[in-house]
Amino acid sequence: MEIRALGCYGSELPGYRLTGYLLNRMALLDAGTVTSVLSLDQQKQIDYVFVTHPHLDHIRDLSLLADNLIGRRKKPLLVVGIPQVLNEIKAHLLNNSIWPDFTLIPNIHKPVLMLHPILPEEPTRFGKLTVTAFEVNHTVPAVGYLVSDGESSLFFTGDTGPLGNVWTGLAKAKDLRAVLIESSFPNELKELARVSGHLTPAMAGKEIEKLARGDVKYLITHIKSPHLKRMQKELTDLQVRSLHVMGQGEEIAL
């Protein structure tokens, strides 16, 4: 599987873009950053967007992507998520007030976007990808995704605090090559991390211990950019051999 970080930060500053990962050039994990990075031709090739939760830093470019794609694709772009998350997007973003309802544009038979609900822990096929949502711990309904393309698989936590059963579910995934795990705030701000449903480097280290797999890469995502330097040091201090802080624009083949 090829993964490209269109944006990998938890807050936006010049040179630091919000969360959006392109998989095999045809699917997105979250859509915080899409349209400012991909050409129109590349945007047209995206068939699926797997949305972890409805926070703006994860869905912002869904609106702008829909606008760019109108009349340019034969099939609707599928926006995939658990029902609670899709309902929030429909009610608060595609509500004909903040933004037009692109699930009805240009018409209901051939819309630009189609919302496609999936249930947690039920593997579902999307083209060559098999995708399973796992509920995670955030301040709003949120999931992480296990994505497999038949050759390798990847787990993306999205935004989350400490996890329980998810790691047990992943322990069996034989072809798991990487875990994209969030870490948002430095250790000193652990109380803020706790109340906002995020992880510090020390907390992420504990999650990595729970999964206890030495055969996967741990890719750190969603760092709040103003804290980047300090957090890079705190993450290095964890001394996890296969840990890597994602860099913007970085492409990794799993």
Cβ proximity to Zn ion, 10 vs 111, nearer residue: 10
Q: Is 159 in the site for Zn ion (CB under 5 A)?
A: yes
Matching residue, tokens 């949120």: 142
Phi/psi at 119 (5° precision): -100, 150
Sheet of 77-81: strand order equals 113-117, 77-81, 48-50, 27-29, 20-23, 2-7, 251-253
Q: Is 227 in the site for Zn ion (CB under 5 A)?
A: no
Site string for Zn ion, 3-42 (x = CB under 5 A): ----------------------------------------
In angstroms, what is the minimal distance from the CB of 53 to Zn ion? 6
In angstroms, what is the minimal distance from the CB of 72 to Zn ion? 29
Cβ proximity to Zn ion, 69 vs 220, nearer residue: 220
In angstroms, what is the minimal distance from the CB of 11 to Zn ion? 8
Q: Give Cα separations from 179 to 72, 87, 116, 172, 214 (angstroms).
A: 34, 27, 24, 14, 11
Q: Is 234 in the site for Zn ion (CB under 5 A)?
A: no
Q: How far is residue 38's CA from residue 195's CA, in Å, rounded to a whole number?
A: 34
**Which residue(s) pair with 21 in the sheet?**
5, 29
**Segment contacting Zn ion by CB under 5 A, of 36-44, 74-82, 153-161, 165-173:** 153-161
Cβ proximity to Zn ion, 76 vs 144, nearer residue: 144
In the region spanning residues 39 to 58, those forming contacts with Zn ion, defined by CB under 5 A, are 55, 57
Q: How far is residue 85's CA from residue 237's CA, in Å, rounded to a whole number?
A: 35
Q: How far is residue 180's CA from residue 60's CA, in Å, rounded to a whole number?
A: 20
Q: How far is residue 170's CA from residue 167's CA, in Å, rounded to a whole number?
A: 5
In angstroms, what is the minimal distance from the CB of 98 to Zn ion? 18
| Interface with Zn ion: number of residues (CB under 5 A) | 3
Residues that bind Zn ion (CB under 5 A): 55, 57, 159
